[in-house]
Amino acid sequence: MFRPLLLCLAALVAAPGPGAAQQADAPIQLLLQDHGEAIAESSRRTIGPAIDALAGSGLAEARAVLERWQAKEMWRHDATGLFVHAEEVDRNTIRIFDFATGEPIGEVPDDGYTQLKPNSGIRGMIGAALVQFQLSDPDPSRRQEALDAIERDAEASHLAALRAAIPGEDDTAIRARKQRLERLLTIEFGETEAERIAAIEGFEADLGVDLRAVLNRLVQTRREVAATVPDTADVARVLKPGSEALAVPEAYGLLVEAGLAPQRVSREDRRAALIAHIDGGSVGGVQVASLDTEAARDAAFAALVAAGLVATAATDAEAEAAVRAHVFFDRYVAAPPGVAEAAALALKAIEGRLALNQGADLLLDALSLASIYFLAAIGLAITFGVMGVINMAHGEFIMMGAYTGYVVQQLVPDHTLSILIALPLAFVVTFAAGVAMERLVIRWLYNRPLETLLATFGISVALQQLAKNIFGTQARPLTAPGWLDGSLVLNDVVSISYIRIAIFALALAFLVLFLFIMNRTRIGLEVRAVTQNPRMAASMGINPGRINMLTFGLGSGIAGIAGVAIGLYAKVTSEMGQDYIVQSFMTVVVGGVGNIWGTLVGASMVGLLQKGIEWFNPANTLAAQTYMILFIILFIQFRPRGIIALKGRAAEA
């Protein structure tokens, strides 16, 4: 009965100003006073009811109080116990505000007030309570933050808040996220088994990690042992001792934990106990000389147990008998049986879909890698496959193309424009380098493969060193345009980066371009003629030397464009070409020397093989490449001309 009078007096003492009496009589202040001691104590064990009372009060000021409290901006007057929102003016003065109106009350010395500093645990509890307010915040980012908080630490109280916030949501993406999260929380915290099971069934064909996490929590079990299987629905499965799911030692351990069997003793411990109790040539009434069998030693030890000389322990035979006399089973402990069984069925269905999607993701990765290998190998397919030149410097043309892209980006900051300039410029630079190399070196070494290999290897080393002298040894960035950032995400399992998609499209474009050049242009006709029969082509007025020069330049130019594409996601260094030279040769040899379709098939086969081996051994990519090389060596033993071999005179040459 004295409470109103006391509060008015407290208000006058606490702070001057016209809003003081209103502060003391305001419903929010009365609510704070009801839980004042718990709030002031700030113990995580006792603070829950105070936070719940504020969050569920329906008062407009409750959100502001919780936010100020969480931000350590709530103070309490020592003499009266009234709560205020305060901000520091200087070291000794604070400006206090009325929680009910938000109006400033005045500036007062801080020595009469205590700042409430909730620890991280209490701040987390306050944050969970604030979610219901944040879910309807006008700012979409605040609503997203609230959903993030629920996903991190969901509680049963969040379910009602989510359901109340969905009808008023006008943002399509946030609304869909709220609905999904509401179904997840229904699975975990729904009031009835029926609605929880319906929510599980509503996620048909979903592969979300968050869904799997919730379902896995529901199917948690506890392993138990009994004389007979309980006639209850919560028994998930019965286990057979000695099977893969339950080893015999583990089964006996469960018996010991349940107090149904004595502790086992190891052979070493039993032997030590027998030795320690030898008395006059016998142990437990059994002559030492007769302890030459397990049964005799068990009998002697059992006699010691019966005499109280050692602790009770089971023999091997007793342990086996005890295990056979009991049943072992897993019991659902995290959800009612119906919900747990529905979750188990859903997880089983998800595992099947997950395997299919993982296979699809692996296939996408393999095709992506194949497109990279195809781009890197298409130039080599021309120089090696068509001309028969073993060019060990092919990787350095890839490196030159990547560095060309880097230089262009230093001059043209716009990444989209710089890439559009770099692609044709890289072709021109490496085409010119290839023509120079063919005119100065290769033309003198035709039909001398060993000398060609050694000469091009020397050029490879020289080009690497030249790149180090110009650009240094550090990796240089080749930045992709912004529209290539991110990935195309089909679901939580299957995704592919936009850069890989662009490289795949570029590889297809070059396939079409190469086929057009070879089949629809005069130079293509001349290249095919020189490839089939150089002497006959020369007699028809075709200059084989010129065709070889242009062919080698074309192959080198395509390698330069491949370098720009590869540099968008790989490191650009002087050694980057060496990472692709081996795979390029394998692609050409496996696919079929001199055949563009063979190169495409070979790239696909090498990409699939490498990704498949990496899937079995993901921690060791070097081992995967080694296995792949061994497999290809075996493959060419049985098909030395490759998958698609040339026919006719070119094959005979």
How does residue 263 score in pLDDT terms, banded at 50, 70 and 90? Answer: confident
Indicate whether 39 and 141 sit together in one domain. no
Q: In whole numbers, what is the pLDDT of the chain averaged over residues? A: 82
CA pair distance 610, 629, nearest whole angstrom = 10
Indicate whether 12 and 102 sit together in one domain. yes
Indicate whether 646 and 574 sit together in one domain. yes
Residue 120 lies in a domain: yes
Q: Which domain range does residue 8 map to? A: 3-124
Cα-Cα-Cα-Cα dihedral sign, residues 144, 149, 152, 156: negative
Indicate whether 576 and 638 sit together in one domain. yes
Indicate whether 368 and 513 sit together in one domain. yes
Q: What is the pLDDT of residues 283-327, one digit of tens each?
A: 777 777 777 777 777 777 777 777 777 766 666 777 788 888 889
Residue 341 lies in a domain: no
Residue 333 lies in a domain: no
238 phi, psi to nearest 5 deg:
-100, 135
Going by C-alpha positions, the residue among 108, 111, 161 that lies closest to residue 131 is 161
Q: What is the pLDDT of residues 139-157, one digit of tens each?
A: 888 888 888 888 887 888 7
Indicate whether 572 and 426 sit together in one domain. yes
Token pair in block for residue 251: 């089964």
Going by C-alpha positions, the residue among 486, 481, 389 that lies closest to residue 444 is 389
Q: Is 41 helix (H, G, I), strand (E, B) or coil?
A: helix
Q: Which of 99, 124, 149 is the C-terminal boundary of a domain?
A: 124
Q: Which of 104, 124, 144 is the C-terminal boundary of a domain?
A: 124
CA pair distance 436, 450, nearest whole angstrom = 20
Q: State pTM to two decimals.
A: 0.64
Q: Decide: 88 and 75 in contact? Cβ < 8 Å.
A: no
Q: Is the pLDDT of residue 386 over 70?
A: no
Q: Which long-range contacts (CB under 8 A, 24 or more apart) does 43-52 make?
A: 44/119, 44/121, 44/122, 44/125, 47/118, 47/122, 47/125, 48/125, 51/125, 51/126, 51/129, 52/129, 52/157
Going by C-alpha positions, the residue among 181, 179, 182 that lies closest to residue 210 is 181
Q: Is the pLDDT of residue 163 over 80?
A: yes
Q: What is the pLDDT of residues 617-633, one digit of tens each?
A: 766 666 667 777 788 78
Residue 87 lies in a domain: yes
Q: Is the pLDDT of residue 48 over 50?
A: yes
Token pair in block for residue 511: 């396939």
Indicate whether 118 and 143 sit together in one domain. no
Indicate whether 142 and 85 sit together in one domain. no
Indicate whether 43 and 163 sit together in one domain. no
Distance of CA 94 to the CA centre of its chain: 49
Least confident range from 181-185, 275-279, 511-515: namely: 275-279
Residue 245 lies in a domain: no
Please tell me the predicted confidence (pLDDT) of residue 10.
45
Residue 336 lies in a domain: no
Q: Is the pLDDT of residue 462 over 90?
A: yes
Q: Which of 218, 246, 276 is the C-terminal boundary of a domain?
A: 218
Please tell me the predicted confidence (pLDDT) of residue 570.
81
Indicate whether 43 and 77 sit together in one domain. yes
Indicate whether 81 and 146 sit together in one domain. no
Residue 96 lies in a domain: yes
What CATH number corresponds to the domain at position 518? 1.10.3470
Indicate whether 31 and 179 sit together in one domain. no
Domain count, the chain: 3
CA pair distance 449, 459, nearest whole angstrom = 15
How does residue 647 score in pLDDT terms, banded at 50, 70 and 90? Answer: low
Residue 335 lies in a domain: no
